[in-house]
Amino acid sequence: MTRQLARLLAAVVIITLATGCGVGLGDLPLPDRGSGTGDSYTVTAEFANALNLPLEAKVKLDGADIGSVTSMSVRDYTARVELKIRRDVALPIGTRAELRSATPLGDVFVAMHPPELDGPTTPTMRDGATIPATDTSAASTVEEVLAASALLVNGGVLRDLTTIVNGLGHAVGDRGDELANLIAQSTRLISKLSARSGEIRTALDQTNRLVATMTARQATITDALAASGPALDVISANTDEILDLVTQIGQISSTLQRFPSIATGRTQQLAANLNRISYELNAAATAPGVEIENMNRLLPPVLKITNSTAAHVDADLQDLALGALRDPRHPPDPGSRLPAIIDANNFAGTLEYTLERLRKRLDGPR
C-alpha cells in the first residue's frame, strides 16, 4: 500500500511539472564562458561598433583567456564594454582592444594588444581604467563579409580577370616561348641594373653635381655666349673667304706632297724610289739574256754628252720661234710675253721661300 502511494505521488509531481510550470530550453542557464570566479579587476573599453559582441565573451591576451565581458552600454553613440580581467594579469597603459573572431561566422572575442615599448617600468591599468575609442577597433560583421564576398563573385571582378587572362592568351598565341624569353631577358636586365645600382647612383650623383655647377655658373655661361656673339657674326659673314682659304691651303698641300723632304719631312718615298731603281738595275744585271754589247753601244754618245759637269749637245736648229716675238712663219703665242723685272723678283721670292722651308725641316724652328 505504501509503495503504491509513493508511485502515485511521483506521477502527480511529474504531471504537475510538465503541464503547469512550462520549463523550456530558453529557461536553462548557459555555462559561464568567462574566466571563472577568481579575483579580478574591471576595465572599460569604448568601441564604435560592438553589435556582434555577446555577453560573457572571452577576453584574450596572446591567445590565452584572461577575462570576460560582463556588461555593455551605450553613451554618446559609443559602446562601453566592461571587461573583467584576472588580477594576476597586468595590462600596461596604452594596451589596444580589438574585436576579433576565429572564423567568419564564429563568436567574437576581445583581443588585447600591449604596446610595443612595454617594459618593467611601464605603469599598468588599475580597477576602473578606460581604454578610449582611439585605441580600439571592431571586427567586420557577418553582413560586411557576405557583402564583400557577393561583390567579389557577382560584381564582375572574377569575370574581368578571366577576360584579361583570355585576352593575354589570344595575344600571345603560339609565341609563348618568345614571351618567356622576353621575361627572362627582362629579368636578367633588372638583375644587372640591380647589381650596378651603386654605379648608377654614382653617375646620377655626378650628373646632379654637374647640373648644380652649371646652374650656379649660368650667368658666366650667358656672358661667354654673349661675348662670342660678335665673333660668330664675323665668322658667319666671312664664310666664303674662309672656304676659299681652305681650298687654297688644300691645293698648296697637294703641291708640296711632290717634295717629300720639304712637304712631309720624310724620305721614305725617295728611298723607295732608289730601292726600286737598284732592284731594276740588279735584275737587269743578273738577267740571263742580257748582253753587255747593247749597253756598250749607248756609252759613246752618253760619254760625249756628259763628259764634264755639264751636258752639251751638238744640234742644228732649223726653226726656232720665241713665243713673244712675231715670226713670218709662226704667229706669236697670245699667252706669252717678254721677261720683266717682276719675274726676277718672283723667282727670288720663290727660291727664298723654298730654302727657308728646307732650313726649318733640317734645323727646326728657332
Q: Is residue 151 included in any domain, yes or no?
A: no
What's the number of domains the chain is made of?
A: 2
Q: What is the pLDDT of residue 257?
A: 66
Q: What is the pLDDT of residue 84?
A: 93
Q: Is residue 341 included in any domain, yes or no?
A: no
Last residue of a domain, one of 72, 107, 141: 141
The answer to whether 69 and 59 are in contact (CB under 8 A) is: yes
The answer to whether 93 and 65 are in contact (CB under 8 A) is: no
Amino acid at 119: G
Q: Is residue 16 included in any domain, yes or no?
A: no
pLDDT < 50 stretches in the chain: 1, 25-26, 28, 30, 34-37, 262-265
User: In whole angstroms, how far apart are CA 279 and each of 266, 267, 275, 289, 294?
Assistant: 21, 18, 6, 17, 20
Q: What is the pLDDT of residue 82?
A: 92
Q: Is residue 259 included in any domain, yes or no?
A: yes
pLDDT tens-digit readout, 159-183: 777 778 777 777 777 777 787 888 8
Considering only CA atoms, which of 94, 106, 104 is closest in space to residue 33? 106
The answer to whether 50 and 137 are in contact (CB under 8 A) is: no
Separation of CA 212 from chain center: 21
Q: What is the pLDDT of residue 306?
A: 65
- In the structure grid, which three cell numbers stand for residue 17, read together? 511539472
Q: Is residue 274 included in any domain, yes or no?
A: yes
Q: Is residue 194 included in any domain, yes or no?
A: no
Burial 236-253 (b: 16+ CB within 10 A, else e): eeeeeeeeeeeeeeeeee
Q: Is residue 19 included in any domain, yes or no?
A: no
Type and span of the H or E element at 177: helix 176-195
The answer to whether 60 and 14 are in contact (CB under 8 A) is: no
Last residue of a domain, one of 92, 111, 141: 141
Q: What is the pLDDT of residue 38?
A: 61
Last residue of a domain, one of 271, 287, 303: 287
Indicate the pTM of the whole model: 0.36
Question: Containing domain of residue 274, as a range?
Answer: 238-287
Q: Is residue 230 included in any domain, yes or no?
A: no
